[in-house]
Structure 1
């Protein structure tokens, strides 16, 4: 005797739900692993606030850890079914934003330059969505911007700590960098509400850095004054 229609229908729906739940769980487990790795890298990079003279060395010290993250990102990409990146994006959007911030922060500490989409793609092993749609696992443009928009806050804190450690030239370079980054964001027509609010907050970071620079110049402490 054949199964009732309702039983067949809801039985197949339950099977689909179970399969989807299983995919979500394995993705969440991998995301958690990568998140812990990124936290460890951030912890190491944060040490620059107590030792600004070693900024480049601190940045270099996390390269092996970033390579391990890249490997795990490839494993994560394999867990997401083909053409279903956005179906599960809520599970890893925050992770990708943190990833972009870490790469941007490490790049700045190493070279005092802003990271490019090409550099992000190279260091993470994930393509960055720019002017074309990407169907495979990738970094959406907005997630890259979320990573970049977090830099000014960290740099404002760094400017204060530079002055405290008698590095009076670096805050002037930080000011120039943040002003340039801020000008770049001003060129964008931001549709994402959270991203726009974070962008609006940059002006407070700029003000904080300006106060540090003003004090340095007032006391004629910098060779660049």
Structure 2
């Protein structure tokens, strides 16, 4: 291949003639900064950053509520189980454990009322039920909502209705001992509760369904007393299972209970 001398020596591109990687990066950063500045003029970025931080903080608190609400629920269920076995001191200790958890969560709930719905409300319903049962075994009456300052209205009412199911189970245990007086006391209390709840206009929902189950609990108690009256002295009482024996059926779950499984 011949080289034209007139053309002069060929020139190779020098290093500085090509864009370096650093120059390309700087260019990209500049473009990104320009775009960022452009969008920053359209929205309030600080407010979105604040919202993100608030939602993260809420999620952290909610996880604490869900986790520790399980402890309230567990302690309350264990207390009810102990009461049916006659272990009142153990039940009292279990509820004291629940009280400590409730006190620990109270500041978080007060900061954000929306944290009460869901798992915490479900746990408080179980707690109210256990406190109702304990008070009944000690005093023979229904505990008032004023005696449960950490419990709210719907939680209390839900706990009271569920408590009537525990009263029914307790009555069956007393019937096997042929203690008619205690069975009558159970029937009278559930009937009194039913009479008070008639004045409420419950909307369709978990509380309404629970209230509807109360009349079946009352009917079962009446059937138990009737069966006792038919049994000759000296013969043991045997519970007869039938279609009306709703106290052996699964209880109606609350709307909040599902959150406890999260």
What is the deviation of 1:95? 0.8
* Structure (1 or 2) with the larger CA radius of gyration: 2
Distance change >3 Å, CA 73–CA 105, structure 1 → 2 = same
TM-score, length-scaled by structure 1 = 0.76
Match of 1:76 in 2: 105
Cα gap change, 1:81/1:198 in structure 2, threshold over 3 Å: closer, same or farther?
closer
Instruction: Extract structure 1 runs of 4+ deviating beyond 6 A.
Output: none
The SS at the match of 1:191 is coil
Corresponding residue to 2:202 among 166, 169, 190: 190
TM-score (norm 2): 0.66
**Aligned pairs, number:** 196
Residue 215, structure 1, aligned to residue 243, structure 2: no
Alignment of 1:92-103 (within 5 A): 92-103=120-131
The alignment's C-alpha RMSD in Å is 2.5
- CA distance in 2 between partners of 1:114 and 1:147 (Å): 11
1:112-170: CA deviation from partner (whole Å, max 9, x where unpaired): 1111112222xxxx2xxxxxxxxxxxx22111000001122222222222222332321
Quickly say closer, same or farther: Cα 1:117–1:28, change in 2 above 3 A. same
2:74 to 13, 36, 43: 36
Deviations 1:72-96 (A, max 9, x none): 21111122352x2135422311011
2: distance between equivalents of 1:92 and 1:195?
16
Q: Which runs of 5+ in 2 are unaligned?
A: 1-32, 235-262
C-alpha distance in 1 between matches for 2:146 and 2:132: 12
